[in-house]
Chains A and B, each alone.
Chain A
Amino acid sequence: MHKEFLMGNAAIARGALDAGLNLVCGYPGTPSTEVLETAAKCNDGRIYVEWSVNEKAALELGAGAAYCGARSMVTMKQVGLNVASDPLMSLAYIGVKGGMVILVADDPGPISSQTEQDTRTFAAYSKLPCFDPTSVQEAYDMIADAFAYSEKYHTPVLFRPTTRVCHGYASVTVRDAAERQTNQPGGFVRDPAKWVIFPRLSYQAHMNIEARNVTLAEEFSGYAHNVFTPAADGSRRGIATQGISYTYVQAALAGKPAPALLKIATPFPFPEQLALGFLRSVDEVLCIEELDPVIERELTYLCGKHHLNVNIRGKLTHDVRNAGENTCASAAHDIAAFLGQAQPGADSPDAAQPALPVRPPVLCAGCPHRASFYAVKQAMKGKKAVFCGDIGCYTLGNAMPLDMVDTCLCMGAGVNITQGIGKIEPDTACFAFVGDSTFFASAITGAVNAVYNQANMTLVILDNSTTAMTGHQPHPGTGRTMMGEIVEKISIEAVLHGVGVKTVETVNPLHLEEAIETVKRTAAQDGVKAIIFKSPCAVLIKPDQPAVIDPEKCTNCKHCIRQLGCPGIVVQDGKVTVEQALCTGCGLCAQVCPFHAITAGGVN
């Protein structure tokens, strides 16, 4: 054993590798991405690593490996589990041979997600065991346990850290290379009665699952990371908590005699016996947890089942906020209110404080998406149009002054949302914007649907040749895999032609005039047509010389700023100025300036 300073996600990957991992796959998504990236970085040739095309593909791949007796891990963010839920629900019935951990990172806040869904609730719904670590160290330690339980009970298990555990760093104790476990898969053994799902098999499997979960609940009551600490303050009050909130509770109670504490690391199946010991020691409980009131509901249920006169408080009783993430401060506040203590003093905002500049996330200087949105905006000026966006950097096209995202729902949704709008409002020019990685992940089916069902729309592919938002992962169009192979790039153009899109135009959005003309020409046609705006992500290319503003010609009209909102152009001492450190010389502003006052390396 030795100590290392690791990010939570890195600790999870290291823990899995040390537990004999054979295969890891997933789809990138904040806050889960670094798990797979770390595994790939640490791969000494012993494991197979893959960014799959989406979470459903990844889960099926992981299942196949586990059918062979491999230890497999599948990584995704919480909304990715929705995509993978079809194979997941069935796999819960079929089970596995080798250990299989489905790592789903939840995002209370949410900080960078569409929903505040709780994978613990999904665990109960799918009847799968769930592990919920409270710290980076515990994440490392528990991942090995997750594999062991999975193998012992022949079931996939869910492992759900939250953002603050995933992205927190800590000095943690990890195993030395020599202490690393290995797992030699026995291979796939043909057995249709086991691996082929049928109603009769499912009935029997359902019976087995329910019985297994009763056994597991008993076992989890003795699991080392589920902890009941009796009251040290002589009271009959208790706090039940989980995840990172447990550390907030510890911090709030540090140095004081504490009430009883129940820490739940396996929310499903719920460790009933352990919780009963806790409940019998108290008259009143405060539940501090993030996302759904999972522990609170379980404890309330147990009080009914066992006729315990204990008052359970939390989100359901409005003692704790229902949405958003907890903090040290919120936990301290809720605990003080519960214990009837004075509230920790919070300063009211200082009236003397000058107004702070807001720094919302924006498309980077030189981002080709800015040019793409601008080209479409110019081409459709004055026409009735709808612009359906999607998930990725380009969601930021919603910000002023571009203001080019009318809808955004989930991965790939824009294609058929715009189709739906067009069916009800045929006089609207319907656009769907989708990135290259998102196209492969979940827009191809939508495109087939639109073509087949005679939609009238323009599909705009923003192809920057990477998965930019999550940190530049490769995808089928990049010609690279996570095993380091150089493979044939899958052509978006060929895919679109293949599914029946007749008109597919490819244009560099930074050639503004040509881009605008392409949009006008393409959008005027009937049926489903596509424009591929192809230009690499600005973060990945060597920047060109920054733009130069000719002070003789510049009238300070700020047209460039008001049209484009590029962080590379600022006003300094009243003058429009190029921010040297940010400008990539993409040349878009030079093409927009009405006085031809800007020259830039790239285009002009």
Chain B
Amino acid sequence: MQTNILICGVGGQGIVLTSKLIAATAMAKDMPVMSAETIGMAQKGGSVFSFLRLGDDLHCPMFPEKTADLIIGFEPAEAVRMLPYLKDGGKIVLNTHPIMPVTAALSGTDYTGKEMIAYLQTKVQSLAMLDADAACKALGSPKVLNMIMLGAAIRQNVLPFTVEEIEETMRRTVKPQFVEMNSKALRYE
């Protein structure tokens, strides 16, 4: 049994950290895990992705197109960019808040993210959407975006973990004063 997960978004959103949390949770359950992500030139503002694989008989950290069980999209256009990797019947969890690229501001093209969401709605049967940036504001911390997304992803029942298991990993990795905020974010609906 293998699970392929693709996490994508824009540099600075906490993509890599999300991937690490899932991996650490898998390790705690003695489950083999591999991952690969963009590093280097893609700093703040660039497209960032993380491939994550859980289960037995893993060969390479990357997986081919049409094999992702779940895409966790932190940004609408980035989810569309990675859509070819979603398998037939795969699920997407999407943050609907768009991030304007510098080039769009320069050339005056009006990217709003709405066209991306409309497109995803026509292509993906199982599309769970939330405005995770608005959720951050509601919770009062811009730093819990990834926990909100991860919580929403867990509720899709694709990841072989419970919220409690992710929470346990989180407790081991964040400072004590941030545990409560992150727990709330994981359960935000």
Contact = CB atoms under 8 A, between A and B. Distances in A.
Interface stretch (B60-68, B147-155, B160-168, B170-178): B60-68
A390 to B, nearest CB: 16
Contact of A5 (B33, B59, B102): B33
Contacts of B34: 136, 168-171
Nearest to A349: B84
B101 A30 contact: no
Interface of A is mostly: loop
A167 B19 CA distance: 13
B29 to A, nearest CB: 11
Contact of B84 (A247, A327, A328, A347): A347
Contacts of A164: 36, 60-62
B60 A251 contact: yes
A541 interface: no
A193 interface: no
B81 A356 contact: yes
B110 to A, nearest CB: 8
Contacts, number: 147
Contact of B41 (A4, A171, A361, A579): A361
Contact of A169 (B36, B47, B103, B122): B36
A547 to B, nearest CB: 15
B89 interface: no
A346 B111 CA distance: 28
Contact of A561 (B62, B105, B109): B105
B5 to A, nearest CB: 13
A329 B47 contact: no
- Name which of B34, B108, B110 has the most chain A CB atoms within 10 A of its CB: B34
Interface in B45-85: 45-47, 57-65, 77, 80-81, 84
Nearest to B102: A567
Contact of A327 (B62, B77, B101, B116): B62
A570 B106 CA distance: 8
B101 A582 contact: no
Interface string B127-140: 00000000000000
B62 A169 contact: no
Contact of A565 (B37, B106, B119): B106
Interface string B10-47: 10100000001001101100101111110111111111
A425 to B, nearest CB: 31
B41 to A, nearest CB: 4
A551 B100 CA distance: 21
Contacts of A562: 106
A332 B143 CA distance: 40
Contact of B24 (A5, A170, A354, A356): A5
Nearest to A400: B106
B104 interface: yes
B166 to A, nearest CB: 15
B102 A361 contact: no
Interface in A305-347: 327-329, 332, 344, 346-347
B173 to A, nearest CB: 12
Contacts of B42: 361
Contacts of B63: 251, 328
A571 B109 CA distance: 9
A196 B80 CA distance: 62
Contacts of B32: 170-171
B57 to A, nearest CB: 7
Contacts of B33: 5, 169-171
B189 interface: no
Given A347-B84, A357-B77, A361-B46, A168 B36 contact: yes
B105 A570 contact: yes
Contacts of A171: 23, 26-27, 32-34
A41 to B, nearest CB: 16
A569 B142 CA distance: 19
A568 B23 CA distance: 33
- Name which of B44, B61, B102 has the most chain A CB atoms within 10 A of its CB: B102
Contacts of B109: 357
Given A329-B64, A565-B106, A169 B101 contact: no
Nearest to B83: A353
A557 B19 CA distance: 41
A279 interface: no
Given A169-B36, A250-B60, A567-B44, A357 B119 contact: no
Nearest to A393: B43
A5 B44 contact: no
Contacts of B103: 357-360
A344 B23 CA distance: 30
Given A251-B60, A581-B142, A359 B45 contact: yes
A364 B45 contact: yes
Given A30-B39, A569-B105, A3 B27 contact: yes
A358 B101 contact: yes
B2 to A, nearest CB: 10
Given A364-B44, A400-B106, A570-B105, 17 more contacts: A31-B40, A111-B40, A164-B61, A164-B62, A169-B61, A170-B33, A254-B57, A328-B60, A328-B62, A329-B65, A344-B64, A354-B80, A357-B104, A357-B109, A359-B46, A361-B42, A570-B102
Interface of A: 3-5, 30-31, 111-112, 135-136, 164, 167-171, 244, 247-248, 250-251, 254, 327-329, 332, 344, 346-347, 350, 352-354, 356-362, 364-365, 400-401, 539, 558, 561-562, 565-567, 569-572, 579, 581-582
7 contacts: A167-B36, A167-B39, A170-B33, A247-B59, A329-B64, A354-B115, A570-B105
Counting from the closest, the 10 A-B pairs by CB-CB distance are A247-B60, A112-B40, A328-B64, A168-B61, A250-B59, A354-B115, A169-B35, A247-B59, A30-B40, A357-B101
